[in-house]
Structure 1
Amino acid sequence: MATTAIDTAAQEARPATVPIGKRIRRLVMQLGPSRMAMTILFLIVATLFARFSWQMPLVGDAERALYDARAMVMAPHVGQDKRIVMVTYNDETLFNTGIRSPLDRTILANALANLDAMEPKAIGIDIVFDSPRPDDDLLKAQLRAMKTPTWLAYAEQASNPNTIFYEQQKYLEAYLAEVTTAKTKPTSVLFRTDGDGVIRNWPDRPKNLPPLMANALAPVDPAHANYQGNIRFLVPARVAKGQEEPVFANIPIDTFAMPMDAETRAGFSELVKGRYVLIGGDVIDNDQFNIPLSRFTDPITGQHETMIGLEVHAHMLAQQLDNDWSNPLPGPALWALAILVVLAGGLTALVDMRARWVAVAFLGQMTFFVAFPFWLQGHSVDTTTLPAFGWAIGWLLGYAAIGTAARTIGSRQRAFAQSALGKYLPADVAAQIMRDPDQLSLHGERRNIFCVFTDLEGFTKLSHATTPETVARLLNEYLDRLSDVVLEHGGTIDKFVGDAIVAFWGAPLSRPDDGERAAAAAIAMNEVGEKFRTDVAGEDVPPIGMTRVGLHVGDAIVGNFGGEDRIQYTALGDSMNTASRLESANKSLKTGVLISAEAAARAGRDDLVPMGRVTLRGRAQPVDALTPRPDLSPGQRTRIAEMVAAHTAGNKNAYVTAATALAQEFSQDPAIMFLIERLNETESGESYVLS
């Protein structure tokens, strides 16, 4: 009974390596319906976070920030793209012309005339002609005369309500109708920004709009004609220390607007011939957009750089020309990853390993959450829908859900373990062991302990003379009373052997006053046994004898011993055997409690009287035994001690005088009379051999 309970408590108290599958089964079985439902609900919420974080407030902002970091770090560093050239109105052009809005169209007409003669592959004009200018006729004539495929920006109020109003749209439509030819056609310049005002993806293609500029300028394969994934923004390669060559050449429109003869055009044609020419504005605070790279400072300027719309078109066109399309992870894969990260968090909460391996597992998973999205970004996977931050939240929620459930079970098990330990250990010792399970040694260790054995005289006769139910009731009551004495005095109950209790002090925890506690407990157990005998005397049961107790101190091996499936926390050694023999010697010596001289020296009691030196049954080494006699006066105890000392010292005259006087005084005391009898039968210092 004691072995099973204390062993269970000890193993519950001390962390043990339990297979993860077994821990999961135990968790499911012990949670209960309501807490299981809450845990499942929590896991569902965690999975939703890990799947739909891009669509959630605040969390979506974090996802966008992480994507921008990936786009920046994994952006290709390239030299200047010779296929595309930007021709722009800049602030100096506006200053020189004195015209800011609408832009000077004479310059554009002259530039188009020269560019057309230089044989570019196609021209895209990102300027919306939504209001009149005095020089409109000149530009219209040039647009109708273009031999190079030329695409003019078109926008509508429905898709750009903040940039164009109804009258402007009508004027634009009329303007385009006048200049549209087989070579000159309208193109959509629509952009879509995310909720934070950043351009990250290609826009949709409303059916009422003309083709998107990048799609219009160069052929696009049908599979990506409506591509809406991430825009691949390029980063300029550094050509010298502190210097970068822009990805796309940016030439002021003034360069091409001046009058040119054939020879002059030939000199400039190398900048344009066979290239895609994009014409638009590069003006401060106009047509500027935030892109993923804008979140970070430029290494050269130290500023958060925005990008003009014309350059965004250039990046999209270069991506299309390179056929470098990113494919998002399919929905089922995202669901699978969401479930896996939540399960990983939950399993991490259940993992039963050494702290360093738990740390390795944790760091490994955190590294995955950080590195895997970057790896995907670098391998042409569109991560604008990848819930990297959501994975982290899902993992944490999964860890919290399973961890909370496990802690709930653990607290119940801990309460059970502490309750079980409390049946065999003092409450303060049990609490200490629960805080530090290593103190309940699961291996043998040598300890100096005080050992107590008890025995109830007449119990065998009782067990044969009454019903099993009565025996069980009386035995349980008796053991309860004695167990309480052990625990109240800070002892550890080793085992119950029938009606006997084996207990010790000094393990698993030792105290300076263990000897005093053990001696007090031994005496109290004898007194409680006498009280029990009195209490049951009126019942219809055979008379019960006294409770005999033996106490000894010495070294023992204390720990858990047994087979692989069943172990017992106990003490082994000669000190245990000596205590057992002392308990048995009580019957011969006519005493109720016998304490060895070694234990008596540390008992801190003044009511002990010597019972002489005896050789216990089955033992070769003699033991000086003492018994508590609080019923005697200090003078009587002193005279008994002097008698024994005189015998030991060989002072025969003193011994005879003392023994004669004590025999008369204690003629009715069996223990003292038998002590005198034994001393009479032995020589000086000899021990009396008990049969």
Structure 2
Amino acid sequence: MLSILKRHRMRMLLSIAVLLVFLLHVIGVLPLGFADRMENLAYDLRLNLMMPKTVDPRIVIVDIDERSLLEQGRWPWSRNKLAAMVNKLFDQYHIRVLGFDVVFAEKDDAGLLALQQIGSAVKKPEIAQALERVKPSLDYDRAFAESLKNRPVILGYYFRANGGKDANVGMLPPPAIAAGTFDIAAVDFDHADAYGANLPILQQQASGAGHFNPEPDSDGISRRIALLTEYQGNLYESLALAVARTSLAVPKVEAGFVAGTPGEDYAGLEWLKLGSRHIPIDGNAAALIPFRGRQGSFPYVSASDVLTGKADPKTLDNAIVLVGTTAPGLMDLRAAPVQNVYPGVEMHANMVAGILDQNIKSKPAYMLGAEFMMLIVIGIILALGLAVMGPLMSSLLTVGVLTSVVGFNLYLWQDANLVMPIASTLLLIGLLYLLNMSYGFFVESRGKRQLAGLFGQYVPPELVDEMAKDPNAFSLEGESRELTVLFSDVRGFTTISEGLDPKQLAQLMNEYLTPMTHVIHHHRGTIDKYMGDAIMAFWGAPVAEPDHARHALLAAMEMMQALEQLQKDFAAKGWPPINIGIGLNTGVMTVGNMGSEFRMAYTVMGDAVNLGSRLEGLTKQYGVNIIVSAFTAEKLPDFVFRELDCVRVKGKDEPVAIFEPVGPKGTLDAETEKELAVYREALKLYRSQNWDLAEMQFINLRSQHPGRYLYEVYIERIAYFRDHPPGDDWDGAFTFKTK
């Protein structure tokens, strides 16, 4: 036995070292970011596998959707319209509780201002008396407040983590737990410095209010909701908690501690109490959202149908109603574990349902100790067993341990409503197995060298390493795939080349092409060819990449950033500045080794490739650096694009929409958002041939943003179409006769 241990001691020591790293990660001494990301993914996977995927009819979402905005007008609506909706919901549809995932922080005094203007213009006493009589009917805020009076209505509001008293707006509801109830310093509550709440006249008439602050994890995905938030020593309940409490007719929220007095034996606040119901929470007083399924797990009713009386009474009768929005422009769409774009109001609905059903998952503090012990037991078993077993028995042992861990974890999840961490354990099992197998099965370097010979000139080394794991899965034979192609070209290259001698020109091109290639390789792109000053690259082959459009766009945007640094370097050397245009298109292309018996190249061909080349040529026509097709833009719903035009390029009869990337959603400043909104309206007027209004909008945009050549393009085009009308059957597309 000792001889066996001695012979395999290096394997065992390495395995113990790996185990030690994971133990240090669990106790927080050596955080492993990838393990945390894996934990989030493991949580999402279990949630998606085990959620019921049923529709809960008890909670109904009254949706301020796109149709509502079209039929009732843009948001915000006047308060008298909201008052009418509240009255209909309670009087006609007989709902039980109403919650607003909306904040009403500003006054609606449009009616009173109009009345005041009329009174100022008309000085006759009899007119003044008549106006005074109609004044109450035009006080829309009061009308809305009256509709809330003596009804179970919960308003929404939000907290901010920074800002002082001057940043406060509106009136807070009474706290759910007042200061001094227990030592809140012992619990790591989310802390707020300011708030944006409802008008006092509304808050005073409502039954209560709850905050709807998002609580995304580090990866931007919302998996939990903070049920209590601390502000100036008081604790305020969330919208979902307030709605559930009102529905259950429970007067107050109580804190639940495991044992002892807070601050003495154990200060951990582990649940909240609503009457007999216990709601498990984490160390930040947040609860995991018990998602039922993807969007649509609760009945949706258009707000417009409520206002017009067209909603189905059976759907709303005795229901808990949440008023929110799924309209993209109103910015209440979030990333969720079950769906990339998910309505925030449905997250609150899931939490309300979880509170009512008492099926919220719990992740108590003692799970840290359970994870620590499981790592020790499994690490020792595998460190000893894999070191002395052959390949077959090692594989069987690993599979057995893996199955046991996953099965036990799923049992706790489903039957005990406990979330036990699993990522570190799975990573440990996988790493120990790979570590020990590498002693018996060394990396097949021959296959890697062959792949490097075939593809090394096209793809970055890290992709060659990935391909080497399964060399038989890759070949140079032609095939059809959906890919994304990129073309870039230096503008005015002929003029630049005439001003440099051949040696300088070669040096300039080398210093330009090298960082551009690094960027493409960094984003997992395949270099097709260099054509003088032009670059052709594509994504999705030879290694299949489902997210090829995203990688291509990120590469294009980073190429423009790299160009800014190059401009500085070139200026220091006395070289002329350069600018580039980039075209991106996504579509089905033929990819493979093509050429003649004298020379072959791994390349892409097809109409989609040609379109990408045409888009690069159009960049200078619109004064932009990057143009992507509609086919690429639709693959990236989390990016904001500016629609440049709808065009027919040379060689194609069908029009295609073209776009300029602006940035990821949620990162744009208010000025840019406003500019895009005005531009979209101007584009709509242009396509409806309303030349005068369209021209006015584009002239205003040009004056506000003089550096954007796009607006000049449309102003000139409108002038042309006035003299040469495109006809009633015009589809809005502009036809280019040249490449």
Same fold (TM over 0.5): no
Q: Which has the higher contact order (CA 8 A, sep 6+)?
A: 1
Compute the TM-score of the two structures, normalised by the length of structure 2: 0.35
For normalisation by structure 1, the TM-score amounts to 0.38
